Structure 1
Amino acid sequence: MNIQRDSQINVAVIGCGYWGPNLIRNFNAIPDCRVKWACDRDGSRLARVTSLYPEVCCTSDFERVLADPDVHAVAIATPVSTHFELGSKSLAAGKHTFIEKPLARTSEECQQLIDMADSRGLSLMVGHTFVYNAAVRKMKEIIDSGEIGRVLYIGCQRLNLGLFQHDINVAWDLAPHDISIILHLLGNSPDTVSCQGKAHVRDGIEDVTNMSLSFDQGPFVTIQSSWLDPNKVRRMTVVGENKMIVYEDTEPLEKLKIYDKRVEVPRTYDTYAEFFYSYHYGGVYSPFIEQDEPLRVECMRFLYRIRDGVSIESEGRHGLEVVRVLEAASRSLANGTAAVSLA
């Protein structure tokens, strides 16, 4: 679907529960963009959208949305189990398609969506919002500059009380954020994945998981995810040879702190008595970060991709890589936490 550079892009948002209204708000706030349709099976959700955005057409009929020739793009914010069906129908109808994370339930489904988009010349984007977070982008800039040296390990914690999902476990719900950030920071995928977890509230759906990612000649990564924690924690620690970064997303201002700390091993020594570790304790600073709502940036990038064909940070192939890691984690859970190769 070709769109003139200065023409308006009409978007339909599918799913108006927890996240859909945020998409409507952000797309509507972007110049030369309009949310024409909101679609949901729940009439009360549509009534709320109508009260907030009376200019948006509301319907429970997805096919009606797809049949509208004025709709250029579809944004899908529905349960994961519906992503492939709705996404493939959207692409088949010739619509540029945005799908919230994870892109689909399996890597095979992801690949099919990618192939459909490529064969039709359409844009396919996955909602990895955190790669558009200003603090994450600054963190990547610092890592790429070499300031902290070679990355040794990354530790992630994403914890809170709920929201419990009925069709995916906590790893599939929360870990995609951390996985997408890690793949963005490092620029490659892990070689092996292992995962352990337990279901305490609902049988068969783990609400606490610990995932480990190993990169060949690269860092070791741990990801802790939980729906059963009393506090909301959003922390990532990146340890380099020279310095360390702590990213606290719940901090209102100083989200990034760079610690001039490291441990050094003597290069040469003649006797055991001469061997000792040297601990360097330097200062701490928090770089200035110009804040912008990550979801707004993400929506704008989707529109840039549609209008100009530019490469973006969360295309379909990035969604595929995240799902491959999640699949490996699921296999590890099923096999007693054994490491699973992604080769």
Structure 2
Amino acid sequence: MTDTNALGQQQAAPLGVAVVGAGYWGPNLVRNFQSSPHFRLRWLCDLDVERARKVLGGYSTVQATADYAAVLADPEVDAVAVATPAGTHLDVALAAVRAGKHVLVEKPLAATYADGAVLVAEAEERGVTLMCDHTYCYTPAVGRIRELVHAGELGEVHFVDSVRINLGLVQKDIDVMWDLAPHDLSILDFILPEGVEPVAVAAHGADPIGAGQACVAYLTLQLSSGAIAHVHVNWLSPTKVRTTMVGGSKRTLIWDDLNPAQRVALFDRGVDLATPQELGVHERRSMQISYRTGDMIAPALPEKEALRSMVDEFAGAITEGRAPLTDGRAGLRVLDILEAASRSLEFKGAVVGLRTGH
């Protein structure tokens, strides 16, 4: 006799997935795909097959290969996760899209906006999921910040201030802005309320150690609402700081990623301004400002690895046929800001407009 209850609760077959790239980020993806009930890892592809084998370990049933064509030819591979250098993202991801696979790409989506636009257009045309691994967006803290902002708990967003500094690994091929700012820009894109978006950016940078590219940079973004967002990235700081402040008309939120005891704090403190309608003719000349000092609360956050949540979102987007939270267009918007900020650096901090409404 068939157990209909058991059948009803039966899970859909896991999606076959291949990871391309066994370097810095690939092993993290391998671990999370292997532990996910939604996926079955079938391949790890790397030009250095021995490196791929080491990542998998001696007892793995996952196949290690340098033959990317063989991976794409496997009909049991539904999805491909790309963890190769940014300059190769277009070729590797485009081949997967054209093979009809769903694609996850580590940040940045591509090396240039033009490359990213090709990827997005091709994925949309072929009806496959294209997702950008903006990992920080899947942390419990950033998820809660997005919820609070979108629910109007902070009121209108007046400013966002983000600091990501450390004594960092000075990169040879990219400046500090392209290395660190994608994290902050992807978070900004993720948390801003509907209808509010960056419209222009000005960037200032310095290379005081003669590294050949900016080691310290400041980005100032104008938002469509009239608000402002600021990002400070730095490879030369002796201390590590990872903070984001979101100031609203009702409350201000501070996220300190290095404080596990209180990652997110919400302050009911700020400045209130009497509106012109409330003022007489003479009072309008000196607007009435009042300060409020209310409570501080620290919301409880679940403990869950960001990458695991990201992998779950990738599976959900594929099986439900919907756009993922950080889709290809989110990756494009980040590339747009980075390219505009690079142009601004060249022109000594000139304000550069962004493409809007991607």
2:287 & 2:109 partners in 1: Cα distance?
A: 51
2:16 & 2:239 partners in 1: Cα distance?
A: 39
Of 297, 304, 311, the match for 2:323: 311
Counterpart of 2:171 in 1: which secondary structure?
coil
* Residue identity matched to 1:161: L
Counterpart of 1:126 in 2: which secondary structure?
strand
Match of 2:26 in 1: 20
Cα distance change on mapping 1:284 and 1:323 into 2, 3 Å: same
1:282 & 1:301 partners in 2: Cα distance?
A: 37
Task: Kindly indicate whether residue 332 of structure 2 is the aligned counterpart of residue 320 of structure 1.
Answer: yes
1:200, CA displacement in angstroms? Answer: 4.5
* Residue identity matched to 1:107: Y
Task: Kindly indicate whether residue 234 of structure 2 is the aligned counterpart of residue 230 of structure 1.
Answer: no
2:266 & 2:58 partners in 1: Cα distance?
A: 42
Match of 1:99 in 2: 105
Task: Kindly indicate whether residue 199 of structure 2 is the aligned counterpart of residue 191 of structure 1.
Answer: yes
1:329 & 1:272 partners in 2: Cα distance?
A: 38
Provide Cα deviations, 1:288-334, integer angstroms capped at 9, x if missing partner.
11221111111111111222212321111111111111111011011
2:336 & 2:22 partners in 1: Cα distance?
A: 28
The normalised TM-score by structure 1 is: 0.92
* Residue identity matched to 1:99: V
Match of 2:3 in 1: none
Give the length in aligned residue pairs.
339
2:307 & 2:147 partners in 1: Cα distance?
A: 20
Task: Kindly indicate whether residue 287 of structure 2 is the aligned counterpart of residue 279 of structure 1.
Answer: no
Counterpart of 1:99 in 2: which secondary structure?
strand
Contact 1:81 1:167 in 2 (8 A): no
- Indicate the larger mover: 322-331 or 305-314: 305-314
Counterpart of 2:57 in 1: which secondary structure?
helix
Contact 2:197 2:224 in 1 (8 A): no
2:167 & 2:329 partners in 1: Cα distance?
A: 31
Of 260, 265, 269, the match for 2:268: 260
Match of 2:149 in 1: 143
Task: Kindly indicate whether residue 350 of structure 2 is the aligned counterpart of residue 338 of structure 1.
Answer: yes
Cα distance change on mapping 1:287 and 1:204 into 2, 3 Å: same
Counterpart of 1:64 in 2: which secondary structure?
helix
**Runs of at least 5 residues in structure 2 that lack an aligned partner in the other structure:** 1-10
Match of 2:128 in 1: 122
2:167 & 2:197 partners in 1: Cα distance?
A: 30
1:273 & 1:218 partners in 2: Cα distance?
A: 22
2:27 & 2:141 partners in 1: Cα distance?
A: 24
Match of 1:77 in 2: 83
Cα distance change on mapping 1:86 and 1:199 into 2, 3 Å: farther
Cα distance change on mapping 1:238 and 1:37 into 2, 3 Å: same
User: What percent identity do the matched residue pairs reach?
Assistant: 38
Contact 1:189 1:321 in 2 (8 A): no
Cα distance change on mapping 1:261 and 1:321 into 2, 3 Å: same
1:164, CA displacement in angstroms? Answer: 3.2
Counterpart of 1:191 in 2: which secondary structure?
strand
**Runs of at least 5 residues in structure 1 that lack an aligned partner in the other structure:** none
Counterpart of 2:61 in 1: which secondary structure?
coil
